[in-house]
Structure 1
Amino acid sequence: MTTHQGLVAGIDFGTQALKISLFTLEGKLVWRGERAYPTVFPLAGRAEQKPEHWWQALVEVLKEAAKSVQLSRIEGIGVCATSSTVLVVDEAGMPQTPALLWMDNRAVDQAKAINENADTAVKEVLRYSGGKVSEEWMVAKALYLKEHGYLTPGRKVVEQLDWINFKLTGRWAASQCNAVCKWTYQAGKGFSPAFFDAIGLPDYQKLWPQEVIPVGDRVGEVTEQAAAELGIAPGIPVFQGGIDAHIGMLGAGAVEPGVMSLIMGTSFVHLVHTEKPVFHEGLWGPYENAILPDQWLIEGGQLSCGSLTTWFLQQFYPHVSAEEMGSVYEEVVAEAGKIGPGSDGLVMMDSWQGNRTPYRNPLVTGSMVGLTLAHTRYHIFRAILEATAYGTRNIIAAFEDSHVPIKRIIACGGGTKNALWMQILSDVTGLVIETLEETEAGSKGAAIVASYGLGKYPSLADAAKANVQSGRVYTPQKEAQEKYDRYFAAYLDLHVALFPIMKGLASPEKGDGMR
């Protein structure tokens, strides 16, 4: 067994899997592991996970790490997780419901009611959320859970990150990152009682953690019980993280205004810091001090991206084992790479689970237009990659409409391993896209949070800049870019033509659907 001094653990609870990275305090990767956990889709538009699966994954990955690394060397822990993945717990923190995953949109009616509320206090708060709340967010889901009788006396509704930090330290505390971006919390002002009174959630103070801790501040120390379960030392400090994609900005080094962090995972998240607040109805924010002090954060996002490639493999290769899927994926990418820009006239909409930005429409679905008998599975795969690129270009246009110039794009996440996808993104957007040597920006960002918390760096921004190693750079190809301009125009036209039809087809299931 190799001995390493001064380790920090970056723990990232993603949509499909837990990822843990162990780094030295100087930022050198020592060990990495991951463990998948299942998602259940009980009804259309619903997505659930079991919290015990998250904790079990953490136990198993740390057990695996102990075979190679002395876990007693861990000096600090940072955690990030998916945002607005919420669950109901009792007074002891025991889950009383499955977790409603971030993509679960059963709170559509609650979000609509909040957004249509004419109260002045509501409008003022929503001004700093892009003018609306999303059905994905904590506020809408908490209201849904209350209206359906799940928030009985003594129970709380918490996020995935809150529950994990509680399991580690025994302390309930929200991340300022999550609270500002998804809970309508305002840095310096806190929660607005008038807002919650107006939307029918006056008892919010009893229903979720009220203590809000900025990114990088200490949450607590690992308890004796957690240490025994995880095989680590008690007393290790745990520092507050935040939303996985947002903490990924630190892992990507995207901490300066005008630098877009493109997180390529199950969904895509587009994040940019600005020095002043920017208001645009097609973007989320502006969020004050969500990650860095004295900075505003603007957010765009696509709900269905990596999940589409997962769907493709599951549907077209259902009998391929997990061990063989890697080689199958390589073959699919290679064959799709032989097809020209535009997939021989096949254009896809990427809104399979709804549209987050710039349309903010939870009821839209996916589509493929232009199919012929000449098209193959590889055309469909390439069309998926192109659709996500069209969606990213559409979001970048919204940023530019807001007078937020995108000077650089730094991409990170599992999608960056697909060179074809990266080149398509560059060709469609017409922008240079940088990648990182370290693709797992979430767990790296969480480790950076821990290093900062331990006092290794004077600021989070300094810590992020000191830990970035650049990777491959993708430059747009002029001929492909010109072809994609035409297909992007068709992509936009499809939204105009098909949104009314999709709305008519949408029939959200009633009842809570909780399994």
Structure 2
Amino acid sequence: MAEQLLLAVDVGTGGVRVALLDPHGNLEATASVPVETATPRPAWAEQRPEDWWEGLKAALPKALEGIDTSRIAGICVDGTASTLIACNQDGVPLRPALLWMDVRAAQEADDLTNTGDPALKYAGQETVSAEWGVPKLMWLSRHEPETYANAEVFADCVDWMNFRLTGEWTMSICTATCKYFYDSNWSGWPTNLYSHAGISDALGKIPSRVLKMGEKVGTLGSAAAAELGLPTGIPVAMGGIDAHVGAVGLGVVVPGSLALITGSSHVMLGQTDQAIYSKGLWGAYFDAIVPGQYTVEAGQISSGSVNNWFAKNFTLQAHLEESATGRDIYQILDEKAKDVPIGSDGVIALDHFQGNRSPFSNAYSRGAFTGLTLSHTENHLYRAVLESVCFGTRTIFDTMREKGLDPTTVMVSGGPTKSEFWMQMHADVTGVPMSLPNNTEGPLVGCAILAAVGAGLYENIQEAAQNMMSIAHTIEPRPGAYEEYDFYFHRYLEIYRALEPIAAQTSRHIGARE
């Protein structure tokens, strides 16, 4: 008899990916479909929830080709978070979703910060991020009051997808805790915070059934099963934020472990057995990943997205070579950048193209290139982009070290791990080894782990992770490289501090114009 399979669904910024894995973590099939992001104004980002569902419908048949669907024992969805959907009770959206990277709610984030509510301890003891769900709810109430009033449900990405699968309105404790200030250690929803924010009525529209990751949401309904070509009744397990589910897929499920989940953004997640509330770090979030543990979070809004933006728009020579040879443009760019010395011959970039998530929590900061001369080429700028992201990563690791969380080895997953050059740069800049699992698609493996728990194949997340993930190899820092990067790293920090007031004034000026 053929072994059972777990269906993992990853709703990411760039599209919908599906995968089928066995209970040992082996990948049997995968497929993906892109999803478009609209950016109608500076710092805005929106997606249509219907595109996620259509993406699932389009990707799934490709993965299921030649596979007996009766083998599927469980389903789990992960997705972007702080991706706010205002919809009716039947799940029909009233407007496009405000995507996680949308920072239009900068003023609302400032106003929420200024309330000084005790629940803001999750915000790293400084400014609330404009990405988070509560500022976005505030923005809707102020700028689109009709949509806010007519909404019957305020859901996040995973909640909406689970509703489409099961017909059940639920919310992942991962999303609720990390993006909406829910705290299962205390009284659940912080009613005073929502009242201070002027959106106390929103709590009546957020799904009241909050589930831990791996818990059973329900079963695949008949309508969804017909659309997807699957049997009805398959258990659907609760997933969560894509990066946090990715941490599960990396085996970061015990205190002291740290994950770096990379893609359009970088997210760092560490597990602890005690609450740490510190400036520059988010959390500690209780129960957010593993029941009974705390999660500390930090991250960079723009990492792979900056790389993609630059490669797409400003690499004429690399595009010409790609057209002539058919080679992948990122392989071409990596090879050219290797010939550029550390520090990019004086070009230093700032990676804050959508603001800074941590440790500065600055929605008004913006990207920059400095030190340009007529001798520099696209190869210098490309390397400077890669280095800037690594400098941002080191800034976060240094902040963790100051608070007693010393990352000695980091588990890494995501698309950028395909670039050995960039992963080596991460190790060299931070001075920390980067370990890659055999399957670098952490969110998909994490979904499979959670689906296995929800289907009863394993007793808990730790047992499932132990059986379903393994390390392929570890990239060690090169001798002397950390010291050589150190000079440029400190210039990177000085450039941020020098440009901060200019970027803030300009961003606010543009924002006031809209």
TM-score using structure 1 length: 0.95
**Alignment-mate amino acid for residue 177 of structure 1:** C
- TM-aligned CA deviation for residue 207 of structure 1: 2.2
Q: CA deviation at 1:425?
A: 0.5
Distance 1:95 1:323, change over 3 A: farther
SS of residue in 2 equivalent to 1:151: helix
Q: How far apart are 1:479 and its partner, in Å?
A: 2.5
1:201 to 193, 199, 202: 199
Residue 508 of structure 1: how far off its partner (Å): 4.1
Q: What CA distance in whole angstroms lies between the structure 1 residues aligned with 2:71 and 2:512?
A: 51
CA separation of 1:325 and 1:43: change in aligned 2, threshold 3 A: farther
What is the alpha-carbon distance in structure 2 between the residues aligned to residue 75 and residue 326 of structure 1? Answer: 40
Alpha-carbon distance in structure 1 between the residues aligned to 2:374 and 2:467: 53
Residues 400, 193 of structure 1: alpha-carbon distance in 2 compared, 3 angstrom cutoff = same
Q: State the secondary structure of the residue aligned to 1:227.
A: helix
Q: Does the aligned pair in 1 maintain the 2:120–2:181 contact within 8 Å?
A: yes
| Aligned counterparts of 2:504 and 2:512: Cα–Cα separation in 1 | 16
1:128 alignment partner, one of 100, 122, 133 = 122
Q: For residues 377-435 of structure 1, what are the alpha-carbon distances to aligned partners after superposition, in whole Å with 9 as ceiling and x for unaligned?
A: 11111111110100000000111111112132111111111001011111100111111
Tell me the equivalent position of 1:140: 135
Give the partner amino acid of 2:217.
Answer: V
Task: Tell me which amino acid in the other structure corresponds to 1:134.
Answer: S
User: 2 CA distance for matches of 1:440 and 1:241?
Assistant: 15
Work out the CA distance in 2 between the residues paired with 1:324 and 1:97. 43
1:168 to 165, 169, 186: 165
What is the deviation of 1:71? 2.3
CA distance in 2, matches of 1:401, 1:325: 47
Q: Distance in 2 between matches of 1:324 and 1:59?
A: 35
Q: In the alignment, what sits opposite 1:376?
A: 377
Aligned position for 2:418: 417
Q: 1:323 to 1:268 in 2, by over 3 A?
A: farther
Structure 2: 5+ residue stretches without partners:
none
| Structure 1: distance between partners of 2:438 and 2:324 | 25
C-alpha contact 1:279 1:402 (8 A) present in aligned 2: no
Distance 2:395 2:330 in 1: 27
Instruction: Write the mapping of 1:251-270 to structure 2, written as runs, cut at 5 A.
Output: 251-270=249-268
The one of 287, 292, 297 aligned to 2:285:
287
Relative distance call for 1:326 and 1:15 in structure 2 (3 A) is: farther
Aligned residues: 506
Question: Which moved further from structure 2: 265-274 or 399-408?
Answer: 399-408
Q: Whole-Å Cα distance in 1 between the matches of residues 512 and 489 of structure 2?
A: 36
Q: Does the 8 Å contact 2:408/2:433 carry over to 1?
A: no
Q: Do the aligned partners of 2:351 and 2:389 also contact (CA within 8 Å) in 1? A: yes
**Contact 1:20–1:32 at 8 Å: present in 2 too?**
yes
Is 1:349 paired with 2:347? no
Q: Are the counterparts in 1 of residues 23 and 468 from structure 2 also a CA contact under 8 Å?
A: no
CA contact (8 A) 1:358 1:394 kept: yes
| Contact 1:169-1:223 within 8 A present in 2 as well | yes
Of 310-319 and 246-255, deviating more is 310-319
SS of the residue corresponding to residue 436 of structure 2 reads strand
Paired letter, 1:128: Y
Seen in structure 2, the aligned counterparts of structure 1 residues 405 and 325 have a Cα distance that, compared at 3 Å, is farther
Q: Which amino acid aligns with 2:448?
A: A
Post-superposition offset of 1:53: 1.1
> Structure 1 CA distance, aligned partners of 2:512 and 2:11?
30
Q: Is the 8 A contact 2:262 2:412 kept in 1?
A: yes
In the alignment, structure 1 residue 446 sits paired with structure 2 residue 430: no
Whole-Å separation in 2 of the counterparts to 1:144 and 1:260:
33
Which of these residues, 5, 8, 17, is aligned with residue 15 of structure 2?
17
1:230-241 alignment runs, 5 A limit: 230-241=228-239
Q: Partners in 2 of 1:324 and 1:287 — Cα distance?
A: 49
Question: Which stretch shifts more, 127-136 or 381-390?
Answer: 127-136
Asked if structure 2 preserves the Cα contact closer than 8 Å seen for 1:105 and 1:362, the reply is: yes
Q: How far apart in 1 are the matches of 2:17 and 2:121?
A: 35
Give distance in 1, aligned partners of 2:196 and 2:178.
Answer: 20
In 2 relative to 1, CA 497–345 (structure 1 residues): closer, same or farther, beyond 3 Å? same
Do structure 1's residue 177 and structure 2's residue 174 form an aligned pair? Answer: yes
Which consecutive residues of structure 1, in runs of 5 or more, have no partner in the other structure? none
- What's the secondary structure of 2:94's corresponding residue? coil
Bigger drift between 36-45 and 184-193 goes to 184-193
Written as runs of structure 1 = structure 2, the 5 A alignment for 1:296-335 is: 296-316=294-314, 327-335=328-336
TM superposition score normalised by structure 2: 0.95
3-state SS of 2:148 partner: coil
Counterpart of 2:73 in structure 1 is 75
The separation in 2 between residues aligned to 1:4 and 1:57, in whole angstroms, is 28
> What is the DSSP-based 3-state SS (H/G/I as helix, E as strand, rest coil) of the residue aligned with 1:241?
coil
- 1:227 maps to which residue? 225
RMSD of aligned C-alpha atoms?
1.9
After TM superposition, give the deviation of residue 510 of structure 1 in Å.
5.3
Residue type of the partner of 2:382?
Answer: F
With over 3 angstroms needed to count, the CA separation of the structure-2 counterparts of 1:97 and 1:478, relative to structure 1, is same
User: Which letter does structure 1 place at the counterpart of 2:304?
Assistant: G
3-state SS of paired residue (1:140): helix
Distance change in 2, residues 1:22/1:494 (3 Å): same
| 1:322 shift after superposition | 11
Distance apart, 1:219 and its partner CA: 0.4
Q: 1:245 to 1:394 in 2, by over 3 A?
A: same
Runs of 4+ in structure 1 over 4 Å off? 317-326
Q: Does 1:337 align with 2:338?
A: yes
Contact kept? 1:259, 1:407, Cα under 8 Å: no
Q: Given that residues 315 and 378 in structure 2 are in contact (C-alpha distance below 8 angstroms), is that contact kept between their aligned partners in structure 1? A: no
Q: CA–CA distance in 1 between the matches of 2:10 and 2:429?
A: 30
In the alignment, structure 1 residue 475 sits paired with structure 2 residue 469: no
Determine helix, strand or coil for the equivalent of 2:238: strand
Matched residue SS, 1:25: coil
Aligned-residue offset at 1:325: 7.6
Query: In the alignment, what sits opposite 2:407?
Result: 406
